[in-house]
């Protein structure tokens, strides 16, 4: 099954599953990153989540170019986020720097982040969209207050807000997701599998095991814990950003789309287990929790 798509509020359709170039990949050499990115493209990922802070945009650009014979650039979606800007920089000049490193005319997903006043930065990002430098623009780690600030008087609404989302923070992010839905903003998640390897032995584990057993009986194939959690996110219409340096794990992520749907009861069991243990794993989470 192809990766399902999500419709952004600007009319753009993007894949609901994205391959991230941060976290795990930050600790590897360029040649290793290049190899895993090429594998991800060949396996079926078409949306790639990058950032200036990751310092590997040039490697992502090289992987895209190396794969053009099998997967045309026109079929790929590239997202970047800019780092804190140096004096004299704007979000537009930051975008140009990313475009040069990526070897692209314009990324065709969203560009996140900013420096200076939020409204001022957002107006420049709107210019980037109008000028065709970015097809869509969005934000990351924004709370309700941040969103309301930039949307007041905005000509273009954010298309995406990327956050740490998993069952152990679900209760806290639901009010923010409600605001997203009111304005047609797609919720994107990073760190979705964190409960499995950053907090093993928690109340979520036995629930996941029970669901895995049911899915195996239904599907006739083994299902991993990661597939269960990613399925939970996807069924909430969340854009899932995930990553790995292992080819078999990358293939597993794409295969999640073929895994049978979780039942309403199973979705609720995951959320109830998450409510028993509140824990975030990324420092940026505090920014969007400020608005809740």
Catalytic positions are 54
Identify whether the C-beta of residue 17 lies closer than 8 Å to the C-beta of residue 45.
Answer: yes
Six token digits for residue 183: 């304005």
Expressed in angstroms, the distance from the first to the final Cα of the chain is 37
- CA neighbor of 52 nearest in space, from 19, 16, 79: 79
> What is the rounded distance in angstroms from the CA atom of residue 92 to the CA atom of residue 150?
17
SS3 call for 137 = coil
Cα-trace Rg, the chain: 19
Name residues whose C-beta falls within 8 Å of residue 181's C-beta, 6 or more positions apart in sequence: none
């Amino acid at each position: 099954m192809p990766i399902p798509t999500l419709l952004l509020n600007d009319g753009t359709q993007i894949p609901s599953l994205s391959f991230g170039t941060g976290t795990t990949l930050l600790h590897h050499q360029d040649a290793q990153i290049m190899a895993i990115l090429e594998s991800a493209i060949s396996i079926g990922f078409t949306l790639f989540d990058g950032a200036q802070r990751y310092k590997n945009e040039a490697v992502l650009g090289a992987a895209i170019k190396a794969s053009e014979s099998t997967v045309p650039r026109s079929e790929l979606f590239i997202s970047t986020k800019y780092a804190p800007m140096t004096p004299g920089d704007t979000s537009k000049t930051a975008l140009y720097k990313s475009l040069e490193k990526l070897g692209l005319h314009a990324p065709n997903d969203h560009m996140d982040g900013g420096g200076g006043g939020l409204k001022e930065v957002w107006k420049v990002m709107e210019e980037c969209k109008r000028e065709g430098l970015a097809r869509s623009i969005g934000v990351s780690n924004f709370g309700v207050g941040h969103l309301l600030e930039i949307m007041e008087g905005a000509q273009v609404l954010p298309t995406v807000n990327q956050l740490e989302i998993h069952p152990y923070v679900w209760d806290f992010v639901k009010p923010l997701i409600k605001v997203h839905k009111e304005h047609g903003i797609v919720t994107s998640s990073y760190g979705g599998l964190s409960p499995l390897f950053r907090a093993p032995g928690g109340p979520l584990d036995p629930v996941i095991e029970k669901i895995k057993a049911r899915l195996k009986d239904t599907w006739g194939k083994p299902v991993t814990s990661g597939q269960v959690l990613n399925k939970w996110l996807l069924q909430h219409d969340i854009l899932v950003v995930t990553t790995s340096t292992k080819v078999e794990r990358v293939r597993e992520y794409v295969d999640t789309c073929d895994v049978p749907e979780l039942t309403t009861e199973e979705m609720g069991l995951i959320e109830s287990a998450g409510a028993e243990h509140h824990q975030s794993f990324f420092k940026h989470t505090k920014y969007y929790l400020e608005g809740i």
